[in-house]
Structure 1
Amino acid sequence: MYIKKILIAVVLLGLVGMGAFAFYVYTNVFSENTAFNNKEAHVYIPSNAQFRDVLEELEPLVDNIDSFELVARRKGYHTNIKPGHFIIKKGMNNNDIINTIRSKNIPINVKFNNQERLEDLAGHISRQIEADSLALLTAMRDPQFLTENDFSQDTALGMYIPNTYEFYWNSSAETFRDRMRTEYDRFWNESRVQKAKALGLSKGEVMALAAIVQKETAKVEERPRVAGVYINRLKRGMLLQADPTVIYAKKKKENDFEQVIKRVLYVDLELDSPFNTYKYAGVPPGPIAMPDISAIDAVLQPEQHDYLYFVADVTNFGYHKFAKTLAQHNVNKAEYVRWVNANGVNR
């Protein structure tokens, strides 16, 4: 009888223990442990992150960080941390959260356009992926990479085609740069290559010319016409005489890309720079800004016309007046100069 009571007590204690364990497992592993109101939260875990860094990142997002830490250690996550961008959904338990940040690195969309220099591009990208701006700029300017890929410091910006691309957030600077080289090759398909050849232009010259077109007009529908003017000038051996190249040359020489120049003065036209198309014939040695795809394709397929000149149209802002002769251009230019003077645009 005494032994029977002992056995019953042991069984009961076992059941209580199993119940307690089940409660522990449910409470710590399978019960909801999120503290945000949105449907999901984004978690960014840097490369070389320590477990304490993960806990710090997750603490505002969970109800009970201690239970998360306990389960994470039980599952061995604390010694096998994965960097990346992860999405935690509302209502997840500790087990779900750990499985997510262990194996479900989600790509992000990286966007860029119209950057004026590699420095600007590096800064812009560094706000979207883990790599910092210095690492990105160093990778972009790497002499060995540029030489091996037929670019120079002047032409390097032309390798980056503005668009939206999928990247893992923890991509390195070199990974970003190398992917952009691949996208550049993909962009320059056989059709575009043949169009450039038909114009007698290299890829680099197309990019440099497209950058001028980009700066000349924000109106996408007008870009093929502007491109046609410059193609006509090149065919006739005329100077391009593009004001945006003078502005760029001035900024570059003075190492001040923050200055705003609304009016090019005659003294600026004498600036000795290979980017100054009032002094040097042909296409500049590199792009003066990052052209978008519409500007590039405008150069590759310019409007066929006989225009050689254009100036801002003060009666239809954002657009330009085009002329076939210098005499007509001077009439259009005089109208523009009168407007500029009347509105006090001195610089």
Structure 2
Amino acid sequence: MTRLTRRRTPWWVWALLALVILIAAAALGAYVYVRGLFGAAGGAPFTLSVKPGDSLPTVARTLETRHIVKNARVLRYVMDKNGTAGKLKEGLYDLTGRMTVDQVAATLAGPARLPTVNVTVPEGRRIRDMPAIFAKAGFDGAALQGVLKDEALSPYAKGKQPDLEGFVFPDTYSLRPKETPRQIVQTMLERMNREFTPANIALAKAQGLGVREWVILASMVQAEAAGDQEMPIVAGIFLNRLKEGIALGSDPTVAYGLGKNLPELDRSAGDFKKDTPYSTYTRQGLPAGPINSPGKAALQSVLSPVLTMTDGRSALYFVHGLDGKIHVNHDYPAHLRDVARYR
């Protein structure tokens, strides 16, 4: 019999096979590693602020440091491939480490969120108070003061008063840091003008008031009422007194005319006898102009006033008592009794 001889596999074949296996394993490992670089980096939420002159490489390195992306070069590669590398814009981008590189790239290629500064102008503040409010928020208070004196910016103030008192709406405004004082004032004027709807103007006319007179009276209500719930009552009393030809007798109008704050009024010094275009003690009717910036509640109270007492008589007098309540009367003797009783 002929014995079959088993041929042995040459060593170099095994070596080649091992090399192939090693190369395949390395390639798979490299593929897995590279694919991993496109995944989420796991960092905390981060708002990226892009300023003029910031480049994509700089931004990418920042995002790698913040663990928004795993590798800055991968982000640059994706944006280059998508043709969005040059679309980075000034502004804010809200990002998180749960986003993939593709999602981060898409966010950076989209619109930026513009940075804003919130400024709150409280109801009842005067024009003279506003420059300091805006200066505290980083705006040019002195320049703003100059614009607020440009009464020609409002048709209701133009030629009738020295500034825009009463016609800039008290509210919270979200403003761009680079907005100019004129842009800021225009925004406030436009917000006030939104209150002057045809329906509201018709309601003011029903009370015998034009837009300007409506705002003047609302500013008085703003200064006199202890809260929103009192405003329709105070508005009704002032409207009744106007119709009856009784002096309005509002202390805040005296303070405004003298350039004082209300607590600074001094009866013994004759403040209430000093005549100014704003004093409603020395002059009949409404003051020469608004005495502050009335809010929405004050404006609405003039349009929907409470004109009568519970017994049906017209309300003509009121006093704020030390008991925290407003006491309303039709006749002066009763008013004096309430003053003595509650003050």
2:301 to 298, 302, 322: 298
Cα pair distance change 1:86/1:140, threshold 3 Å: farther
User: For 1:282, what is the secondary structure of its paired residue?
Assistant: coil
1:247 aligns with 2:250: no
User: For 2:263, what is the secondary structure of its paired residue?
Assistant: coil
2:152 to 146, 151, 174: 146
Deviation track 1:39-89 (CA, whole Å, cap 9, x = no partner) reads: xx5x3748x64428x969x77992378945873697377865434454334
1:132 to 136, 139, 150: 139
Residue identity over aligned pairs, in percent, reads 24
2:103 maps to a residue whose letter is: D
Contact map agreement 1:154 1:287 (CA 8 A) in 2: no
Cα pair distance change 1:156/1:199, threshold 3 Å: same
Query: Shift of the alpha carbon at 1:116?
Result: 0.5
Contact map agreement 2:154 2:189 (CA 8 A) in 1: no
- Give the structure with the larger helix fraction: 1
1:231 aligns with 2:239: yes
Contact map agreement 1:34 1:93 (CA 8 A) in 2: no
Question: Could you tell me how far apart the structure 1 residues matched to 2:196 and 2:208 are?
Answer: 16
2:198 alignment counterpart: 190
1:265 aligns with 2:267: yes
For the aligned residue pairs, the C-alpha RMSD in angstroms reads: 4.6
1:207 alignment counterpart: 215
1:82 aligns with 2:84: no
1:344 alignment counterpart: none
Give the aligned length.
313
Deviation track 1:291-310 (CA, whole Å, cap 9, x = no partner) reads: 22121111112222322221
Question: Could you tell me how far apart the structure 1 residues matched to 2:145 and 2:86 are?
Answer: 32
Cα pair distance change 1:270/1:16, threshold 3 Å: farther
Q: Give the TM-score of the pair, scaled to structure 1.
A: 0.68
2:280 alignment counterpart: 277
2:3 alignment counterpart: none
1:34 alignment counterpart: 43
Q: Give the TM-score of the pair, scaled to structure 2.
A: 0.68
User: For 1:200, what is the secondary structure of its paired residue?
Assistant: coil
Cα pair distance change 1:20/1:285, threshold 3 Å: farther
2:125 alignment counterpart: 116
1:75 maps to a residue whose letter is: M
Contact map agreement 1:312 1:321 (CA 8 A) in 2: yes
Structure 1 gap segments, 5+ residues each: 340-347
2:339 maps to a residue whose letter is: K
Higher relative contact order (CA 8 A, sep 6+): 1
Contact map agreement 1:113 1:162 (CA 8 A) in 2: yes
Structure 2 gap segments, 5+ residues each: 1-14, 309-313
Question: Could you tell me how far apart the structure 2 residues matched to 1:124 and 1:139 are?
Answer: 15
